[in-house]
Amino acid sequence: MIKRVQIYLLSGKLAFSDSGYLIKTILGSCVSVCFWDSRKKAGAMNHFLVPVWNGRGLATPKYGNVAMEALYEKMITNGSNPDDLSAKLFGGARIYPGSGGSYDPGRENIAEAKKKLEKFDVPLTAEDIGGNQGRVVIFCTDSGDVYVRKN
């Protein structure tokens, strides 16, 4: 059995590893994208809360547009070739479906992630998105495998 280092990814953060890490996070309306490099056997994961930075305050990875750019850049600066990358997308639940109103941050987070994946030309190979349940997501950075449990 492979012994992997486990880390917990907080919201507004990202993590990269080119060795055997298990990156775990918990999502509601937030979204996580996992990038995996099939040649280097390396991976990175983000966890963002809000789709787009509005220009006020710090441009941190809690914003989808910032988090996606940072995640892609992390893979490239660590030696990944864009042609070797694939992505998996998780989260974006509407955890308060009875709250009324048309604003759905989960749906907007998903749209922002997909927009950036298209910009980067990184294929989306798996997704578990939307719905009204939160998720626990565990990403194995050395294999690209992702395990999801809805709660």
Report, in this order, helix, strand and coil percent for the chain, each rounded to 5: 25, 35, 40
More confident site: 33 or 57: 33
pLDDT at site 97: 63
Residue 3 reports pLDDT greater than 90 = no
Residue 105 reports pLDDT greater than 70 = yes
Whether 49 and 62 have beta carbons less than 8 Å apart is answered as: yes
Residue 92: partners with Cβ closer than 8 Å, 6 or more residues away:
27, 29, 30, 31, 106, 107, 109, 110, 129, 130
Tokens 């990184």 appear where? 122
| Amino acid at residue number 58 | L
> What are the structural domain ranges in the chain?
5-150
Neighbour-count burial of 60, counting CB atoms closer than 10 A to its CB (0-12 exposed, 13-18 middle, 19+ buried): middle
- Does the domain made of 5-150 have the CATH classification 3.40.50.720? no
Mean pLDDT computed over every residue of the chain: 94
pLDDT digits (tens, 9 = 90+) for 61-96: 999 999 999 999 999 999 999 999 999 999 999 987
pLDDT-based confidence at residue 109 (cuts at 50, 70, 90) = very high
